[in-house]
Structure 1
């Protein structure tokens, strides 16, 4: 089974062009699933029955896994069996007609404009890392790109003269995103005053680097944003995607059209972007309830 998983992951990487994070997610799900099969006495993937998969999903539920996690595990397993069936490695697909559990859509956490400003003003601009951090935070809020896209940027992906950045999202799809004056100013500051002090190898192409002079990781950025959220006294739970969610919501609240926001976020389906309209509606109701004399 391990070799089949490796073959499947290779297929996803080479033929589907999925990101490293997505590949790792598939791999984790399938390793956990096949371990369950082995403990259940199923040694051959061809011996799997629908009942085995239902039992696995039930175990995940018993362990208290979120509905979204269970649904993702089923999606990973279904994709795996589809691949095996397509390549003639199994006789039938035991996941066929299995329904995914319904996921309750939770609205993403969004910061107020005041909280965003406090967060963006937290870095110490007298230090090289402070300038770097300010540039990263301003860039995230200005563009709405994912954290993975942020840390994957190279110097050549930023065009300061034309005022845009180029990034590669899910499925290696390229998109061009305009940047505001403040983000451009901080990027210029970082490139001219800070990055050359952090980089040790002149051939390093990464835009944002850590104190070792190497590409900053998602985990590294996660620690950075948590530090500044604490410094800004932000009480809401903050995640690496919080600025992305805030970017989209604030654009819509200020009159941006949904299609433009979809394009900037890199959503393949506009229904994904529409969740932000629910946030703005919720906020309108909140404002109405607080301010209308007969609310």
Structure 2
């Protein structure tokens, strides 16, 4: 796997692709020995994956297998990717977050308090993944429910909020159980990605990724009547045109009110 990783890097693969492919191929090689990496055994392995995981996960494994076969100069045909029918909501409700996400965390992870603290924090702050990973605990004022965010890309700072008492409670509990390491939640980009992928693999008809929580936070605020300008500030959007994607919530609410008046 180390040689494969070096090969991927030398061929210009993105950091996340290298991590993902190496993780997936490690799992494959735990089931199929390198000497037995044949077309027949790969097809059997993929058929087993089809029974356990969503098409998106299986397709990603197929991509990793194709790459690995090129690395080894193996002439093996990997089955074509399945066409994924994406009919997914662009945000999740608070109810869905609680019932479908938070409730399964204790069954998937050995440290559910830490995982839930991170998920609540992301859902009720709307931070970008990179902003979240770069946070220090000194940036988080739980008394005032504020967060100081520094964005490396633009070299800018902003003060945003951590909404909701439950998010604050989970974060306080977690901070009390684990000292700060490299960042506020002692999490790497690869580990955060793994957490979302693991939860995603257990959900049906709903993709789950970090940016979904950011989008859900903004949508929830808009439904509660928070202005586009305020959402722009909280999300750290430079141009309000980026924030205007949340205007559809206002239109939906307006339509519902009109429908009640005009039959």
Aligned residue pair count: 175
Q: Distance in 2 between matches of 1:133 and 1:223?
A: 11
Partner of 2:185: 208
Pair 1:187-2:175 in alignment: no
Contact kept, 8 Å, 2:200 with 2:207, in 1: the verdict is no
Residues 82-93 of structure 1 aligned to structure 2 (within 5 Å)? none
Partner of 1:249: 219
Counterpart secondary structure, 1:242: helix
Contact kept, 8 Å, 2:200 with 2:209, in 1: the verdict is no
Partner of 1:281: 251
**Alpha-carbon distance, 1:281 to partner:** 3.1
Q: What is the CA deviation profile of residues 241-265 of structure 1, one whole-angstrom value per residue up to 9, with x for unaligned ones?
A: 0000000011001111111111100
Q: What is the CA deviation profile of residues 112-139 of structure 1, one whole-angstrom value per residue up to 9, with x for unaligned ones?
A: 33222222343229x7721111111111
Q: Distance in 1 between matches of 2:90 and 2:239?
A: 21
Counterpart secondary structure, 1:268: coil
Contact kept, 8 Å, 1:108 with 1:245, in 2: the verdict is no
Q: Say what the alpha-carbon RMSD is for the aligned residues.
A: 3.3
Contact kept, 8 Å, 1:142 with 1:247, in 2: the verdict is yes
Q: Kindly tell me: are residues 108 and 266 of structure 1, through their superposed partners in 2, closer, same or farther at Cα, counting changes over 3 Å?
A: farther
Q: Kindly tell me: are residues 156 and 284 of structure 1, through their superposed partners in 2, closer, same or farther at Cα, counting changes over 3 Å?
A: same
Q: Distance in 2 between matches of 1:146 and 1:134?
A: 17
Partner of 1:43: none
Q: What is the CA deviation profile of residues 133-177 of structure 1, one whole-angstrom value per residue up to 9, with x for unaligned ones?
A: 111111111110101111111121111222211111340211111
Q: Which runs of 5+ in 2 are unaligned?
A: 1-13, 16-87
Q: What is the CA deviation profile of residues 51-100 of structure 1, one whole-angstrom value per residue up to 9, with x for unaligned ones?
A: xxxxxxxxxxxxxxxxxxxxxxxxxxxxxxxxxxxxxxxxxxxxxxxxxx
Larger radius of gyration: 1
Q: Distance in 2 between matches of 1:238 and 1:134?
A: 14
Partner of 2:84: none
Residues 124-203 of structure 1 aligned to structure 2 (within 5 Å)? 124=106, 129-169=111-151, 170-179=153-162, 180-193=164-177, 195-196=178-179
**Alpha-carbon distance, 1:205 to partner:** 4.2
Q: Distance in 2 between matches of 1:187 and 1:139?
A: 7
